[in-house]
Structure 1
Amino acid sequence: MRPHRIMVLGDSLASGMQDDYTWRWRLAEHLRGTGVDAEFVGPHSGTFSMYEDPVLRALVEGRALPTGPEAANPMTGPYREGRFEGGHCARPGSTAHDAKDSVRAHVATGQPEFLLVQLGFNDLAMVGPPDVVLRDLEAVVAEARAAAPELVVLVADVAGTATWGTEWFRQTIDEFNERLPGAVAEWSTRESPVALVDVHSRFDAAADTYDEIHPNAAGELVMATAFADALLAFGIGREPLRPPRVRPSELRLTEPTVTAASGRAGSVRLEWNRVRGASGYRIALRDVTLGQPREVGPIPVLGDHWWARGLTGGHVYEFDVTAARGERLGPRSEPLRVTAGV
């Protein structure tokens, strides 16, 4: 008897970022640990790595942004522990609006029995209101069925956010979540059941995220538990996933080691080692020549290097770099002084 084949179709909440466990990893470990023979399928095997992302690298380096296939992240980022056995079909920024055009091919290739869908947040933020998102999710289900007529589809509601975005946006999430159960029931058939995965009611966006959106280590377990319960209702699993009583710890952010070199006129190139668990880096600088105070850049740098431009050639500048995980900061690097290129 072949393993149960499971495909995860989702956005950044499902793909995870480098050094995350991800809820996919937690779910796979739970099934494996309870003796369930399951195979996760899909075109990707790793997490999203900000360091390897072609678009982010171009932004950091001030180059023209790549387009088409060259803009795609290779999805080769590491996990917090071990590796993910199998594949998945999740990418940051993914929407149901886009997935409806690609899911048939993915399902035809992977031939899953179960399709686990975690989409909707980006749709509500960038594509349209609940009516539009529900139509696109219905199309995702229909397209997936076209490749696997007896597919079981498990659709998660939107976990939500405590403070991110406007009050109107948060109310839109609530409206979508209120309407999703009825829509899921309408999409379900005897041959191809569709069921709701209730993430929202058990997810605390303040406690279970590191940036008001993406799950931290505890939030990943909440999401994995919700999907495990949904699978158990279809006979996949031998017992519920029971998160430990003690919340899993976050990775301790360490102090980066920074090097610098003068570049062209008025510029300095900074480089630093990759800190495990970081989702970005805060760069601070001051003009020592003019005796100016230290200023922290307003936007985190998503990468392991950065060009400081617009400096005064010949002036001495002092830089430091801090690893960040959302708003959580690690220790600053040792201040580094360098003379801007002339």
Structure 2
Amino acid sequence: MRFMFVGDSMTIGRAGDYTWRYRMWQHLGASFGGPYEIVGPRTWLYDTEVDAPRSYAYAAPFPADARRHLAGWGEGWLHMAPVIRETVTDQRPDVLLVSLGLIDLGFYTDSGQTALNVRRFIAESRAANPQVRMVLLPVIPNVRARADAPFAAECDRFNELLAKAVADLDTAASPILLASRPERYDLDTDTYDGTHPSASGEHKLAAAYAQAMHQAWGLGARYEAAA
């Protein structure tokens, strides 16, 4: 089975991070019952010093073939919907693990427009692979939403529209899961800046996907974070 991570800055990570992709790779290696592969057209981290995705300075050894992803600093549903058909055609993922939305709402589109891009993303993914599976993460707690009530309302509205899109578009041939927001996600300890995950936040993000796939599809096992 071939997995592809799709996301924004929380997924690509910055130089010096482990990333939640690394945590998921560790989990799959320990719990997945069959052959699997991580796929994607990119492998780098974001280097904040040069303001570009040029770093391979992961916090721990991470095999090159497991670093693959489709994630970008500052990229959202708006950016991924136009490229996902070509990427799925080329990379042939069976499962998309998607974390997008916060950057859209913060800089590009309102909740309704963002939800339309979600639907376009799903349609384009299926145009490339009619049997592709997807696990979508809602917008999770963040520092701007804690301080900005109108923005928090947009995040909540988008999450409602995301849940509706999943309910409307889920099929037996191409199932879509809405992962639960990470349990007990604390901005002061699970992020390093109120948005991007710290080591504990990385484990909680990976766990959200792992639990969804295990409970709904019987893939892998329950997530056991390192102490």
Q: Could you say whether these structures have the same fold, taking a TM-score greater than 0.5 normalized by the shorter chain as the test? A: yes
Take 2:208 and 2:92, find their aligned partners in 1: how far apart are those partners? 23
Runs of 4 or more, structure 1, over 4 Å off, are: none
Larger Rg: 1
Take 2:187 and 2:115, find their aligned partners in 1: how far apart are those partners? 23
- Assess if the C-alpha contact under 8 Å between 2:32 and 2:219 holds in 1: no
Residue in 1 aligned with 2:116? 135
Residue in 1 aligned with 2:203? 221
Cα distance, 1:191 vs. partner? 1.1
Cα distance, 1:177 vs. partner? 1.9
Residue in 1 aligned with 2:218? 235
Take 1:128 and 1:202, find their aligned partners in 2: how far apart are those partners? 28
Residue in 1 aligned with 2:127? 146
1:8 is the counterpart of 2:5: yes
Give the aligned residue type for 2:198.
Answer: N
SS in 2 for 1:207: helix
Take 2:138 and 2:53, find their aligned partners in 1: how far apart are those partners? 27
SS in 1 for 2:190: coil
CA deviations on 1:289-341 (whole Å, 9 max, x unpaired) are xxxxxxxxxxxxxxxxxxxxxxxxxxxxxxxxxxxxxxxxxxxxxxxxxxxxx
Q: 2:136 aligns with which of 135, 155, 166?
A: 155
Residue in 1 aligned with 2:31? 34
Give the aligned residue type for 2:11.
Answer: A
CA deviations on 1:202-255 (whole Å, 9 max, x unpaired) are 422232111010000000000000011122122321x211224x4xxxxxxxxx
Take 2:53 and 2:73, find their aligned partners in 1: how far apart are those partners? 12
Cα distance, 1:167 vs. partner? 2.1
Give the aligned residue type for 2:36.
Answer: A
- Assess if the C-alpha contact under 8 Å between 2:144 and 2:151 holds in 1: no
Residue in 1 aligned with 2:152? 170
Unaligned runs of 5+ in 2: none
Give RMSD over aligned pairs.
1.7
1:108 is the counterpart of 2:105: no
CA deviations on 1:247-274 (whole Å, 9 max, x unpaired) are xxxxxxxxxxxxxxxxxxxxxxxxxxxx
Residue in 2 aligned with 1:270? none
Take 2:127 and 2:207, find their aligned partners in 1: how far apart are those partners? 29
Cα 1:163/1:105, change in 2 over 3 Å? closer
1:125 is the counterpart of 2:106: yes
- Assess if the C-alpha contact under 8 Å between 2:182 and 2:208 holds in 1: no
Structure number with the higher helix fraction is 2
Give the aligned residue type for 1:146.
Answer: A
Take 2:188 and 2:120, find their aligned partners in 1: how far apart are those partners? 32
1:76 is the counterpart of 2:29: no
- Assess if the C-alpha contact under 8 Å between 2:131 and 2:174 holds in 1: yes
Cα distance, 1:162 vs. partner? 3.6
SS in 2 for 1:94: coil
Residue in 2 aligned with 1:263? none
- Number of residues of Structure 1 aligned to a counterpart in Structure 2: 222
SS in 1 for 2:187: coil
Residue in 2 aligned with 1:45? 43
Take 2:190 and 2:74, find their aligned partners in 1: how far apart are those partners? 20
Give the aligned residue type for 1:172.
Answer: E
